[in-house]
Structure 1
Amino acid sequence: MKTFTRKQLSGLATATAIALAPAAAFAHGRLEAAVPAAGSTLETTPDSLRLTFNEDLESTFSMVKVSDSTGQAVTKEKAKVDAANPRVLTIALPKLASGTYSVQWAVMTHDAHKTKGTYAFQVK
């Protein structure tokens, strides 16, 4: 049976940590689906915007803002985490005029990872 020196064990531990680091980086919450979808063109405005993530969300630290092409916010309410599915964040949408709209979101997952993103959609 081979015994390892402290230096060898330290090197092995370092190599293992480096090898596992990329897997840990993917543990952060990420957007899996959006309605309306990124880059989509809509005929009519849906009642709400719905974002689905790969992890449960913390409602206190999660937000969504929808803005028109001038940067003016069109959403007035606070986004809500769906009680039936804590991976879903929704916000009511008013009737939107024709144009391009940007969606800004920032969330914190139950394991305290924060992530954010933006995308755009259009209304005909």
Structure 2
Amino acid sequence: MPEPRLTVADVVVRLPKTLPAGVSVAEARACFADDHVHLLLLTESGRLLGTLVRDDLGEDARGPALAYASLTDRTVPADLPAEDARLLLLDRGQRRLAVVDDDGMLIGLLCLKRRRTGFCSDADVAARAADR
């Protein structure tokens, strides 16, 4: 479990993979072929415009993926206590949340580990990428 005094800013993955806001549904679906991908971040000039989970892209979805994206219940502020964020993720049955500032600029990605006791780090992500 994260230390109670840590905030989301202390445990966020700072350089998450992002996609341009104009990405197609087909391109977004291709990203979900990787089972480590739980949440796609659609951005423009550093601003988070939408997020996607697999279930957002129904069988009939076509065209720009942004049309199916949402920010509702998928973002948290960086100053939220990390333990509060972990409990929120557990309560919602989620493992990823985008971290944004007051202007909607993407700060990073909060990634709950598979065991759900802590968060992925930039080092964890880099190590997984090196193993591929």
TM-score (norm 2): 0.27
Q: Which structure shows the higher helix fraction? A: 2
More strand by share: 1
Structure with bigger gyration radius: 1
- The answer to which structure, 1 or 2, has the higher relative contact order (CA under 8 A, 6+ apart) is 2
TM-score (norm 1): 0.28
